[in-house]
Structure 1
């Protein structure tokens, strides 16, 4: 074909696709501009270098944290791009895409760089490396634009260019046509067919071929839930009805269910993905409890909702078109893994679904491919390594053949994760050494810090640490916790490997393999916790009844003398062998060693708890009492009842909190269904119904449960009145009066809408603004002195003192209700505003006809009659 190519192989492996497997315009081999590796080693930055050479700073940051420091990668690319260092930029692109092979934005930048320089051969090779592993709309659109650029349709006399572009469109649609953002690609494809040779509605073979091709594309497009599905359906409707109304109605009626499913699916996906960020520059997941953790896990939940929606098959494809159903679920998993590349659970979930449905592509088991790619992205993931090893062990084809080859195949994932974790442990030690040495050098150069180191004693004679030493101690403590976590993880991987090798090769020996070979290798590599010794000892004792198990426990007791968890397991082992004498010796030796130092006293608590439980079940009362006295002396903060209750408690019984019901009427009274503002008062405290005071405010009547309904509109056909069954007649006599009295004394339930409002309001403790102190406000109003009227009149002359600087904010009353001469107004008649209005006309207010009032009050005030 004339310039352009189509990727025909379907390979989801993240490795580069060989050039010879891709049809291109010519088979000329090209240099790989990005094959040069990045700098292998960087010397420590001299002072001030970073300020003058940002590239060196970014390179150092990338080397230190290649998967976490995304900003350093992007800034490094921007620096090379801004300085037009294209060769260096290509090297950075290559190194970046080795770490993030599915970052479509970077692939697009690199390809557009080559296309801008007319390096078409290099661009084709980049397309071959990324297209099949990066299902991204933008990347595939760039590929389509490149194909159309290389195939000129205006001078296509033979039709070869149009056939090439058509094949490219089909290739793109088959791979990313199910994407909910692929609407523009579908519309572009439809327009491309319309612009082709032939006339819609014509009778020639070329016209018929064009209509068939267009109808086929419409049928596929209107079944995809995407934003342009309504537009495509309208175009399809016009297309069919424009050809023949009779057959058009038939086609539209047949395709209408698929369109309605796609339309409803698009609405559902809009709701699911409204807050979803479909990024392709993956970030490492924040640790639980740290910045960004909630947002990251929220994105994971949204992706899982989308995947679950596809699995539930709302488009009804599983039975009618299982291939399309599988393609949609797989595509959704691949989209999720582009954003959640460093989330191992997503890789495992995708692999598990493929295993359950036996998904294969190009004779490759896609579940295994997901696990392999997930391990490449997360080499430190224990979950992925264990899942992959379990898959190999359960499906290895040559189980009955050479057991050594079988064992080597199973052991390979374990060795890979162990090598990664041991390397991480070495880096932790190196970082700790560098930070501590840097602080010590800074302390040696600081005279004040040096003086504080020399003067360590305070007035009481107790030693104290300087600020530098405190910081060094904190750093060492943090790195110790990190190293302990790595050691525990490494230990449990060795345990899993030992159990797997025992299943395959049995007990074995120290040279030929099996359980004992793994234990020997683990001790040789180091960084083990006591868990390895416990697991191997129990395997030797329980499975093979070998006395070597006891020797392993004895060896572990010498290596981990202050490990309370190991000692408890050792005691359990001795008790299982009925060796109570040695168990008591081990217990006394260990607790005496732990309680001798204040820093290890807390470790003795679980040992005492275990031995107290054992003595409570199988020992004598005198021994139990002595043990409780020792525990009370060592741990006085524990409640005295706790030790006594522990004698009789179990996982299913607690003598302290066992609820024995004496009176169901009192102890098991059901709670109210409807919440009320005030709790109902007791029946005994109510002497009778409260008399409601007269108030000018409107009275809110209590809602009744009467079945009667208000009169409705007789001709309301859409909302006819409903027939409500009549309620039960009230009881008569004393029983009826008593129930009515209780019902009147109870506080009425809130309205349904008010109950809903109270339910959605946040709790009171979440209000963090200034609170209104109601008691203080009432006290202020109560204690503020107010003069009586006579004093006020004698002081002010019965009029307000108006201040020009102060504006009076009073409510303007209506003319028929206001008091014109009220001391609380502004001293003007209420109708003055109307008199001054241009609408007043010649209206004259009638003269007042108020009678005189005792007390010399002005008319209209304080009880004056109108």
Structure 2
């Protein structure tokens, strides 16, 4: 009984520990060092049998036609990639025994296990994945964990499974990893801990050997957990960055906080909010030298009002104006204001800085309105500051205009009125532009902490795209020149647009299209330096963006003809190739990261399955069950298999997409090198397009598109037979790629090799139709070859081919297949319907709509039909198609006094509508339907009104706000419209007084 109690207690500890491993399930673990072995450069028997074909291709590439073949076995061979077989654990489970504690005492620092000690112990042990399940008990570091009798062990002989390695055909032994349920805690005495032997597939074992699960972190090791999160996702986990900095600052570890800040700004160099926090931290500690370095790094690249305001506060703090006997402090502050306003003075949120600057100018020694040179100088400076500020669309422009009006009118009314009239158009334009900007930017989030764009179809994608659209609207608004600056102040016009682009890129740092858009605008407006800076910064922010890399390479290739004319082909090629190489490095690194993540997630699934199995065994033994039920075991195995399959499928899709992207980057580089260096030769100083093709094959992870592009370049540009040899080589590497086979067929038919084309077609479709899952891939091949036979083949061949297609694809219409023989790319003669009788076939459709007097009839409807009664009491009107508006019931406040809707006499109509109405009445009378008609005199409706009533919608279809004629008449009757003389006199009044009145009315 005591043994069962101990096992139940262990079960509770395991469950409690499972709840405390947030560091494991949240992805907090750091990315393991090393890389998972890749099967992209296989060298199996199939590749060895095809070395002769490689010799022919490279021999054709060499200038003399007999170039040496080197490292051909290292080429990318997709057909040779074979998955590793799963390791099979033979033998039954051995008796349960407790694991012996390690005799080596771990090295500790501050009560925690040191990294060196941990790494040294890992070197002498097998690959071990820690589940990190620690019992949440007090004083756990001083406790010993009792051994558990529930350890399940497997003998080493059972864990060794020889596996054939397809890369080098060598035998290998994959030992299964051991999961330690309760690993030795830091600073605690070593004790016997239970362990589980978890069976894993061979492929997973190989992956885990190079990418083990993250090291265990204690739940209270907050800094370590945050560091792991940052290492795992540096660009996406902004919360981890900010939390880590906050944690260091709470602990007064300012040196560590500075180090994290510097790392953060390498990823987010334009995060103005974090620059402000960094500077304020240094200023709080009176570290003025470090604060100045921060301002020097950030100000010129981060046009943010908050950051520049912090800089101004620092300048005013360091230059005391109250004790400025020499005037140097005031000069420094004045220069700082000029520097700030020249960079961010056009910002819509810079109103406070403008007001502070004007107050600073007012504090200059001198008296406004005085006659001395100092007074005149102060007056000129203040007027200049006001005139600059009132032309900027910002929230404080109205208040500044009012101050300026008082300033000018206080000096001299005559000259003041002149200045006011001159500056009034600029102020009115700025005030109107501010209103438009306020409406335009409603909903815009001007953040400086950018986020990665969510994938389409996932949470947040709509909101992110909405922000992109709002930024584009603002940029377009500035480009339309609403402030009328392009004609007279072109530099200011460009500065405003450039400023908005920089603002947008602080929020959309990870949106490559915005970087390219900004660079394109700069190139089109003579700002080449700024455009190149945008491209370089965009690539630094998005190293895996094909759009930015292609644009940068295109820019370099375009400027080579003028700036680099003195350089040779080798140097020019190196310049153009640099952006492509950087992009390829990033994409290949993404492939490695995907493998690491996949291995980690698969390892977590294995750990979870093993833990569940161990818990189930404990429960079964506690309930006196000899063995666990087979149904539960099968359910767990099925669930684990489903999870692993979903993980593998998801990562396979991502890997395939990146591989396709890599292939098209190689193709773009190949074409660029052909333009710069020509076709070149392999391993030559001027490699050209052929060297790029060789490099792509050697590096791997490419698709058949690279082979197709290289072969077509050889054929179309150089008329070289090497193109056919490349196709032949690709056909052996991609035998089930229908897209490649189709391009190969087109190439063979274009060079007139119909015999090999037919052989290739028959071989390919036989291989594809032999497997049911590949049958759909054969359809494009059949369609293309059927079209070729229809154009140039014999009728017997066409009929045989159609018969085969009918058997393989019975769902396709036979008539459509027959008609495809005679159709062209944009025309099908079998679908033409000639006009034989225009009077019969081209009769226009009737435009007369249904009657407006009666609702549309509902045939065979179970709804009861409304029949008016022959009664002297008022009849409520049935809903009709009349265009007349109903009573505006919502306008009557008293429900008791609402008008009673009584039936009115119908107006007789002439024309088609009248005849149709008369016919309907006669039909109703013939059916015995009683009708009640008022004795109203007949009224003849004009023909045009009748037609209008027949085409306008019914009144009940109008659901928008209804027009209230009584309110409109009341408004017009109470509106005071002045006569011409009064209006003219008001127009001739002085404008400043009019603006004062307007401002007073606005304030009121």
Task: Tell me if structure 2 keeps the 8 A contact 1:681–1:746.
Answer: no
Between 1 and 2, higher relative CO (CA 8 Å, sep ≥ 6) is seen in 2
Distance 1:605 1:737, change over 3 A: closer
Task: Tell me if structure 2 keeps the 8 A contact 1:510–1:516.
Answer: yes
CA distance in 1, matches of 2:880, 2:782: 64
CA distance in 1, matches of 2:464, 2:118: 33
Counterpart position of 1:315: 483
Q: Tell me which of 375, 379, 395 is aligned to 2:559.
A: 395
Equivalent residues in 2 for 1:466-505, closer than 5 Å: 466-505=638-677
Counterpart position of 1:327: 495
Task: Tell me if structure 1 keeps the 8 A contact 2:883–2:949.
Answer: no
TM-score (norm. length: structure 2):
0.63
Distance 1:197 1:543, change over 3 A: same
Q: Tell me which of 234, 254, 263 is aligned to 2:422.
A: 254
DSSP-derived class of the 1:466 partner: helix
CA distance in 2, matches of 1:179, 1:341: 19
Q: Tell me which of 182, 202, 207 is aligned to 2:370.
A: 202
Task: Tell me if structure 1 keeps the 8 A contact 2:704–2:740.
Answer: yes
Residue 240 (1) aligns with residue 408 (2): yes
Residue 621 (1) aligns with residue 795 (2): yes
Task: Tell me if structure 1 keeps the 8 A contact 2:387–2:423.
Answer: yes
Residue 341 (1) aligns with residue 509 (2): yes
CA distance in 1, matches of 2:799, 2:505: 60
Equivalent residues in 2 for 1:582-597, closer than 5 Å: 582-597=756-771
Distance 1:736 1:644, change over 3 A: closer
Report the alpha carbon displacement of residue 511 of structure 1 after superposing the two structures with TM: 1.5
CA distance in 1, matches of 2:355, 2:656: 58
Counterpart position of 1:757: 959
DSSP-derived class of the 2:821 partner: helix
Residue 370 (1) aligns with residue 572 (2): no
Distance 1:483 1:693, change over 3 A: farther
Residue 70 (1) aligns with residue 238 (2): yes
Equivalent residues in 2 for 1:81-160, closer than 5 Å: 81-160=249-328
Q: 1:788-818, CA deviations, whole angstroms, 9 ceiling, x for partnerless residues? A: xxxxxxxxxxxxxxxxxxxxxxxxxxxxxxx
Residue 524 (1) aligns with residue 726 (2): no
CA distance in 2, matches of 1:440, 1:177: 59
CA distance in 1, matches of 2:850, 2:400: 52
Report the alpha carbon displacement of residue 366 of structure 1 after superposing the two structures with TM: 0.9
Distance 1:664 1:527, change over 3 A: same
DSSP-derived class of the 1:133 partner: coil
Residue 599 (1) aligns with residue 773 (2): yes
DSSP-derived class of the 2:959 partner: helix
Residue 439 (1) aligns with residue 599 (2): no
Distance 1:654 1:265, change over 3 A: farther
Counterpart position of 2:433: 265
Report the alpha carbon displacement of residue 473 of structure 1 after superposing the two structures with TM: 2.0
Distance 1:263 1:669, change over 3 A: farther
Report the alpha carbon displacement of residue 649 of structure 1 after superposing the two structures with TM: 3.7
Report the alpha carbon displacement of residue 664 of structure 1 after superposing the two structures with TM: 6.3
Distance 1:697 1:122, change over 3 A: farther
Task: Tell me if structure 2 keeps the 8 A contact 1:679–1:747.
Answer: no
Task: Tell me if structure 1 keeps the 8 A contact 2:853–2:882.
Answer: no
Report the alpha carbon displacement of residue 403 of structure 1 after superposing the two structures with TM: 1.3
CA distance in 2, matches of 1:620, 1:424: 52
Report the alpha carbon displacement of residue 401 of structure 1 after superposing the two structures with TM: 3.6
CA distance in 2, matches of 1:416, 1:525: 14
Counterpart position of 2:105: none
Q: 1:104-145, CA deviations, whole angstroms, 9 ceiling, x for partnerless residues? A: 111001100000111111101100000000001100011111
Distance 1:671 1:504, change over 3 A: farther
Report the alpha carbon displacement of residue 602 of structure 1 after superposing the two structures with TM: 1.7
Distance 1:665 1:336, change over 3 A: same
Distance 1:235 1:746, change over 3 A: closer
Counterpart position of 1:424: 590
Task: Tell me if structure 2 keeps the 8 A contact 1:344–1:383.
Answer: yes
Task: Tell me if structure 2 keeps the 8 A contact 1:307–1:332.
Answer: yes
Report the alpha carbon displacement of residue 608 of structure 1 after superposing the two structures with TM: 1.6
CA distance in 1, matches of 2:841, 2:825: 27
CA distance in 1, matches of 2:481, 2:405: 26
Report the alpha carbon displacement of residue 628 of structure 1 after superposing the two structures with TM: 2.2
Equivalent residues in 2 for 1:810-829, closer than 5 Å: none
Counterpart position of 2:191: none
Equivalent residues in 2 for 1:575-724, closer than 5 Å: 575-654=749-828, 668=845, 679=856, 696-697=874-875
Q: 1:68-106, CA deviations, whole angstroms, 9 ceiling, x for partnerless residues? A: 111111221222222222111111111111100000111
CA distance in 2, matches of 1:503, 1:674: 71
CA distance in 2, matches of 1:42, 1:479: 31
Higher mean C-alpha displacement, 225-234 vs 473-482? 473-482
DSSP-derived class of the 2:391 partner: coil
Counterpart position of 2:457: 289
Report the alpha carbon displacement of residue 404 of structure 1 after superposing the two structures with TM: 1.0
Task: Tell me if structure 2 keeps the 8 A contact 1:498–1:518.
Answer: yes
Report the alpha carbon displacement of residue 746 of structure 1 after superposing the two structures with TM: 11
CA distance in 1, matches of 2:484, 2:568: 47
Q: Tell me which of 515, 523, 545 is aligned to 1:355.
A: 523
Counterpart position of 1:554: 728
Pairs aligned (count)? 682
DSSP-derived class of the 2:299 partner: helix
CA distance in 1, matches of 2:742, 2:274: 55
Q: 1:225-284, CA deviations, whole angstroms, 9 ceiling, x for partnerless residues? A: 111111111111111111111111111111111111111111111111001000100000
Task: Tell me if structure 2 keeps the 8 A contact 1:674–1:749.
Answer: no
Q: Tell me which of 712, 733, 739 is aligned to 1:565.
A: 739
CA distance in 1, matches of 2:961, 2:793: 55
CA distance in 1, matches of 2:247, 2:118: 18
TM-score (norm. length: structure 1):
0.73
Counterpart position of 1:798: none
CA distance in 2, matches of 1:599, 1:40: 52
Residue 412 (1) aligns with residue 584 (2): no
Report the alpha carbon displacement of residue 646 of structure 1 after superposing the two structures with TM: 2.9
Q: 1:151-194, CA deviations, whole angstroms, 9 ceiling, x for partnerless residues? A: 11111122211111111111110000000111111111111111
DSSP-derived class of the 2:482 partner: coil
CA distance in 2, matches of 1:281, 1:469: 40
Distance 1:324 1:471, change over 3 A: same
Distance 1:264 1:465, change over 3 A: same
CA distance in 1, matches of 2:788, 2:844: 36
Q: 1:255-314, CA deviations, whole angstroms, 9 ceiling, x for partnerless residues? A: 111111111111111111001000100000011111111110110010000001111111
